[in-house]
Amino acid sequence: MARLLKAKITAVDFLQDFIDILAARAKSEGVEDKITPLRASMEQLPFEYEEFDVIWSEGAIYNIGFEKGIADWKRYLKPGGLLIASEITWLTNSRPSELQDHWNNEYPEIDTASAKIKVLEERGYTPIGYFILPEYCWLDNYYEPIRKSFDSFLSRNGNSEKARAIVEAERHEIELYEKYKAYFSYGVYIAKKPNE
């Protein structure tokens, strides 16, 4: 994004390790002057009212919930500003009970795109676009790197019972995606804060 856009970017994560990695990558790519890494919680953002033209949340809003995130973050957008958020989304109105039960337990806010768009409208946004991420985004860019990291994660954590439980939960989620990918994906929602 920093290479493609003529913009100042504030990148937020609550883990310092991720902030450090971002800062190092930005420097190696020669875009460190365009990115301000910031360690902060999504629930306690230190921003000013109407500070941003765009808020981009890729695979993260679920940490506080879609409805809470879009409601809380609206104040940080300038009038006419854009919210772009990816969110786990049902692709069909019905689905196998094994899959439904898993996601009801993991993230009860999972819903169809029409329901998410309705939430955006109810929170005062104007929806202007929606699309689903292609399968390779899940498999090649997300699940496969996770799968490749299992052994080193277990080793770093002494093959503890807690670490094994985390790996097993991730394996189960990957298996569910591979089996039921026709029923769910990440949807990307683009909405505008109206000029007031």
CA dihedral 102, 56, 12, 23 (to 10 degrees): 110
- Token pair recorded at residue 52: 């941003």
- Residue 140 reports pLDDT greater than 80: yes
Size (the chain), residues: 196
Please state the rounded mean pLDDT for residues 82-111.
96
Which is it for strands 52-57 and 77-90: parallel, antiparallel or unpaired? parallel
Spatial distance between the Cα atoms of 29 and 112, rounded to a whole number of angstroms? 38
Please state the rounded mean pLDDT for residues 107-115.
96
Angle at 45 between CA 42 and CA 48, to 5 degrees: 145
Place of tokens 């819903």: 111
Q: Convert the pLDDT of each residue in 11-68 to its tens digit.
A: 999 999 999 999 999 999 999 999 999 999 998 999 999 999 999 999 899 999 999 9
Contact (Cβ atoms closer than 8 angstroms) between residue 103 and residue 173: no
Which pLDDT score, from 0 to 100, does residue 143 have? 93
- Token pair recorded at residue 50: 């109407």
- Token pair recorded at residue 5: 């856009």
Pick from 116, 42, 83, 49: nearest CA to 193: 83
Spatial distance between the Cα atoms of 116 and 34, rounded to a whole number of angstroms? 32
Contact residues for 18 (Cβ-Cβ < 8 A; gap 6+): none
Please, how many CA atoms are within 13 Å of residue 56, restricted to the half-sphere of its CB?
10
